[in-house]
A and B are shown apart, each in its own frame.
Chain A
Amino acid sequence: MTTASPDHSVRRLDTATATTCDPRALLHLHGIDYHSGGRQLLQQVHLHLQRGQILTLIGPNGAGKTTLVKIALGLLSPSSGTVDRSPGLRIGYMPQRLQVEPTMPISVQRFLALAPGAQPADIAAALAEVGATRVADARMAALSGGELQRVLLARALLREPELLVLDEPTQGVDLKGQAEFYRLITNIRDRHQCGVLMVSHDLHLVMSATDEVICLNQHVCCHGHPEQVSNDPAYLELFGRQGVQAMAVYTHHHNHEHDLAGEVVDDPDHVHGEHCQHRHGPSLLHNPRKGG
């Protein structure tokens, strides 16, 4: 297997690699190993992502999901292996957490204006796209989990990303809010034709919103289309049958949605199943339990 030194591990896609002939390729990780403090966190991980594709990393805690994302972003260098990014790749990143120091008074608008080159019109558009216009003047420290998540997504969109990287985007968000969020990601992918790399714990929810799944536990246990992976023995072993069966409940569709203000958003593409009439945004203006 390839063992390049870390110094030379980041190459551009225009060099002779397997991905050269594919103009839709955004990111290609090959044979990634990562050690830290004598522990091997990643072993021979391969990953390939194209424009318009949603790729989800799932795996138990400590599986190295966040480490792999940091290597893909260039925040960490792999111990060995190669990272190929398409030349000049614009990445929008939504970090796992953002803890606004309560001593820092900063509004959502000011926070978004910190994105390099963001104009007021761009900020308004990004907030509208994620359905968070209502919180534009709110203080960052006062946002709920669901609101903060959308604001972070807006900041990532301000980069006009070709690749959107989301690290556990639905942490601290209730189930309805999570399903809602994954729909939003799918819509954004359709509209912008960007690639999406996301990390998730929510194996039940994420299955319907992803094109490909990589099941990671330091090495790639299994990968492929969601249906394929959900029947893979390695996957079943890693998550247990009970957890897997629970996902069936969440694969239904619904016919309209609500934004943060609780307003109905028409979404004629989706047919709703027997379980669900409509959904609410994460504003908690309504009791989310009443939705279904």
Chain B
Amino acid sequence: MVDFLWRALAAGLLLALVAGPLGCFVVWRRMAYFGDTLAHSALLGIALGLFLELDMQLAVIASCTLIALLLVTLERRTRLADDTVLGILAHSALALGLVLLSFTRVQIDLQAYLFGDLLTVSGRELAWLVAGVAVAGLVLLTQWNRLLSLTLQPELAAVEGIAVARLRVLLLLTIAVVVAVAMKIVGVLLITSLLIIPPATARLFARSPEQMALAASMSGALAVLGGLAASWQWDTPTGPSIVVAAALLFLGGLSLQRRSAG
């Protein structure tokens, strides 16, 4: 009993730690829909993993990465708006995943992938998560200033010597990896919320980009703790409980801010 709880707690907190700062860029760059697209394509990864008998987590990371790269190419080749391209990719990937899944003999628990199943995180899945979080953390720590420059004014960043096209792809791939390893925790449909809600809460109080990143990590960690506790106490589904906790923190922050402003 204690074992699986510790694993769940470690997985949730690790994810919150890196989703905070990474989510700040999702918020600043208005990439929420991009996160959703990646999440939808994760289901395609599961279907492919089952078909090709690959490691499930590896297949999901691969499919999210592929979708991210496909997006970069499509954006350059077509004259469609970003959100149209994203819409095409998101729903095609999701639909293709569901169609492929219907061909497999294996019965899978679709519910667990759509809404997450933190309490059944295995040691192996935790190891993947640690690896994914480490990679994302490394990118964020080493590229932080450059990513800020890229977000503020890409042309200025380019003139100042930053390889903006490469950096942009790196950011997309980092988000793809985090979304892929986070799938088990909150599920395909709720992943983006962990990238959006804690930074939005942090934004209410932060006075610098770094404060916002740190506060987003903390608020995400609190949401994980709260969600797990609620799930333990009232036997509610873990993933959705974490998201509800994150949303409550945001509402609490909002009313606190209103009160201090008024």
Q: Which A residues form the contact surface with B (CB < 8 A)?
A: 70, 73-75, 91, 93, 95, 98, 100-101, 103-107, 110-111, 114-116, 155, 159, 165
Contacts and interface: CB of A to CB of B under 8 A. Distances in A.
Q: Which 5 A-B pairs have the closest CB atoms?
A: A93-B159, A104-B28, A101-B28, A114-B149, A105-B206
Contacts of A70: 155
Contacts of A159: 160
Given A104-B209, A106-B209, A110-B209, A95 B160 contact: no
B110 interface: no
Given A93-B159, A98-B152, A107 B27 contact: no
B203 A155 contact: no
B192 to A, nearest CB: 16
B208 A106 contact: yes
A103 B156 contact: no
Given A73-B159, A103-B27, 18 more contacts: A73-B158, A91-B159, A93-B156, A95-B155, A98-B152, A98-B153, A101-B151, A104-B28, A104-B151, A104-B152, A104-B209, A105-B206, A105-B208, A107-B207, A107-B208, A114-B145, A114-B152, A159-B160
Nearest to B206: A105
Interface centre among A93, A105, A107, A116, by most chain B C-beta atoms within 10 angstroms, is: A105
Interface of B: 27-30, 145, 148-149, 151-153, 155-156, 158-161, 200, 203, 206-209, 211-212
Contact of A116 (B148, B158, B160, B212): B160
A155 B151 contact: no
Nearest to B164: A75
A156 to B, nearest CB: 9
26 contacts: A73-B155, A73-B158, A74-B159, A75-B155, A75-B158, A93-B159, A93-B160, A95-B153, A95-B156, A98-B153, A101-B28, A103-B28, A103-B200, A103-B203, A105-B203, A105-B208, A105-B209, A105-B211, A106-B152, A106-B208, A110-B208, A110-B209, A114-B152, A116-B161, A159-B160, A165-B159
Contact of A155 (B28, B145, B156): B156
Contacts of B209: 104-106, 110
A115 B160 contact: yes
Contact of B207 (A105, A114, A116, A155): A105
A110 B200 CA distance: 21
Contacts of A107: 207-208
B152 A111 contact: yes
Contacts of A91: 159
Contacts of B30: 101
A212 B192 CA distance: 53
Contacts of B156: 93, 95, 98, 155
Contacts of B148: 106, 114
A100 B149 CA distance: 11
A111 B157 CA distance: 12
Contacts of B29: 101
A242 B211 CA distance: 54
Interface core residue of A75, A106, A110, A159 (most chain B CB under 10 Å): A106
Nearest to B157: A114
Contacts of B158: 73, 75
Contacts of A75: 155, 158-159
